[in-house]
Amino acid sequence: MEKLTLQEEEAMQSVWQLQGGFIKDILDNLKGEQVPYTTLASTIKNLERKGFVAAVKVANANRYIPRVTEEEYKAKFMNSFVGDYFKNSYKEMVSFFVKEEKLSEAELEEIMNMIKHNKS
């Protein structure tokens, strides 16, 4: 599985949220700045080529459904992210976010409770 570009990730987020859809549906669901229809169509074709979505013919149009779950993608690239930037140490990663004030005490407590109760 290869890493997606930012544009591909945004499109894929929309596909995951919708659990599949036509280009128009995906376009309407995208957040942020407007993307031209043709640009999104090209991006979706790239996602299909890379194996992230499958096209299902419905009448004259293709409906795109996810072939890779969001969880599979996150698991694959979070592991490499932690390995590349934090020497495979989740402790170092959490420490970094605390030092950068990106993680509050309340959030740390919530994480600790999740660990204690093995819940997400």
What CATH code is assigned to 6-66? Answer: 1.10.10.10
* pLDDT one-digit tens code per residue, 60-111: 999 999 999 999 998 888 877 888 888 888 888 888 888 888 888 888 888 8
Say which residues have a Cβ less than 8 Å from residue 25's Cβ, sequence separation at least 6.
Answer: 18
pLDDT of residue 15: 97
12 touches 52 (CB < 8 A): yes
The ranges assigned to domains in the chain are 6-66, 89-117
Q: What is the mean pLDDT of the chain?
A: 90
Q: State mean pLDDT over 50-58.
A: 97
pTM greater than 0.75: no
What is the bridge-based pairing of β-strands 53-58 and 61-66?
antiparallel
